[in-house]
């Protein structure tokens, strides 16, 4: 590459050149040539301290990511020099992500997720997967959700094009069980309000996902009236790029204060059977009942929420209706959760054969 006035500048891969200081007579077309070269080459500069600058041209290489048995999509990454790998966005049911390798079978060069790399040629990186023991599929599901969440942009850099990825992450999170959710969240927002009013701001923020109980003494900045009815829900969050990203929300629990003269809270939730075996296409009915704290008071009216709510941990194995009817979908095992109106929960193990 020449930097003489009026000369045509040509930048070749690996070529080192010396340009004269800014006050020299460099033709405009020379500058344009350098800018065009930068589209395919990375130009690094070094100030020589004598009025000149050394330019080093390095090729930009393309890294292609292969799911290697997993699912999802990742755009190719172009690197010139050294840069961190893009975060993994692939998932694989029954497996956890275990880094990258230049060979599909893992016998090539290994790279950790988001590690810095200096490629010397175009390359394909294959996702590596570690099988999860059959009795530990909970962790696999959690890791899959974490991968989707970690791939999201910071909340202040979200674009319209990110909507599908955000919704997919929330949908995957909502499909987890309560135990699984506690493993994937960094903390929780607690919302509470009197019935009939909107819940707009959290009354408490729990910064540890290991905390399972908390006490609320105020709503709207004032001491809770124990004569009224109120509602509560919890919204887990994940810290992504320094921002708390709300993942979803729990079922809303409805309860009354101890001094309410008409209604009473649920003290105990009882289910007749803790295990069900059902054939594919057949149904079984869950039988449940509640015991109130004060037997001479009424159960909270259904206008606030149904007496029982149900949820399946895997709808592909078995579904459950609003009335507690289990239906086998395909062979396998799953868990049905039964909720009382105030959030008390029971688990039912279901086997479909």
Considering the chain, what is the average pLDDT of its residues? 78
**Residue 44 token pair:** 């690094």
Instruction: Using alpha carbons only, give the angle 64, 143, 322 rounded to the nearest 5 degrees.
Output: 125
CB count in 10 Å sphere of residue 81: 13
Specify the length of the chain in residues.
Answer: 353
CA distance 24 to 18: 13
Distance of CA 57 to the CA centre of its chain: 39
146: how many CB neighbours lie within 10 A of its CB? 20
Share of the chain above pLDDT 90, in %: 34
pLDDT at 226 over 80: yes
C-beta separation of 166 from 152 below 8 A: yes
pLDDT per position as a tens digit, 254-270: 888 888 889 999 999 99
Q: What is the pLDDT of residue 12?
A: 45
What band does 5 get if pLDDT is binned at 50, 70 and 90?
A: very low
Q: Give the pair of three-digit tokens for residue 34.
A: 């350098």
pTM over 0.75: no
The pLDDT assigned to 204 comes to: 87
The answer on pLDDT for 165 being more than 60 is: yes
Please give the average per-residue pLDDT across 233-249, as a whole number.
77
pLDDT category of residue 93 using cuts at 50, 70 and 90 = confident
Give the DSSP H or E segment for 241. none
179 vs 185, which has greater pLDDT?
185
Q: Work out the burial of residue 173: count CB atoms within 10 Å of its CB; fewer than 13 is exposed, 13-18 middle, 19 or more buried.
A: buried
């Amino acid at each position: 590459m020449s930097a003489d006035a009026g000369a045509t500048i040509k930048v070749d891969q690996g070529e080192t050149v010396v340009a004269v200081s800014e006050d020299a007579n460099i033709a405009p077309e020379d500058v344009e040539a350098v800018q065009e070269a930068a589209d395919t080459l990375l130009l690094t500069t070094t100030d020589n301290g004598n009025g000149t600058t050394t330019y080093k041209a390095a090729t930009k290489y393309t890294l292609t990511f292969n799911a290697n048995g997993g699912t999802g999509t990742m755009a190719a990454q172009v690197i010139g020099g050294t840069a961190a790998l893009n975060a993994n966005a692939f998932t694989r049911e029954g497996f956890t992500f275990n880094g990258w390798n230049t060979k599909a079978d893992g016998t090539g060069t290994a790279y950790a997720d988001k590690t810095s790399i200096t490629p010397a040629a175009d390359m394909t990186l294959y996702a590596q997967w570690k099988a999860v023991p059959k009795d530990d599929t909970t962790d696999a599901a959690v890791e899959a959700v974490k991968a989707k969440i970690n791939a999201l942009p910071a909340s202040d850099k979200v674009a319209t094009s990110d909507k599908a990825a955000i919704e997919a992450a929330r949908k995957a999170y909502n499909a987890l069980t309560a135990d699984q959710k506690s493993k994937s969240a960094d903390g929780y927002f607690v919302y509470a309000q009197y019935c009939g009013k909107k819940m707009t701001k959290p009354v408490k923020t729990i910064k540890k996902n290991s905390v399972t109980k908390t006490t609320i003494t105020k709503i709207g900045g004032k001491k809770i009236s124990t004569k009224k009815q109120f509602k509560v829900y919890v919204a887990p969050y994940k810290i992504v790029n320094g921002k708390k990203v709300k993942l979803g929300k729990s079922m809303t629990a409805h309860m009354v204060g101890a001094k309410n003269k008409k209604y009473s809270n649920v003290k105990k939730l009882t289910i007749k059977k803790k295990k069900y075996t059902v054939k594919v296409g057949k149904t079984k009915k869950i039988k449940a009942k509640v015991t109130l704290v004060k037997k001479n008071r009424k159960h909270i009216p259904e206008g606030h929420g149904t007496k029982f709510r149900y949820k399946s941990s895997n709808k592909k194995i078995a579904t459950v209706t609003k009335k507690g009817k289990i239906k086998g979908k395909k062979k396998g095992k799953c868990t049905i959760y039964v909720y009382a109106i105030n959030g008390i929960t029971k688990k039912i193990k279901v086997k479909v054969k």
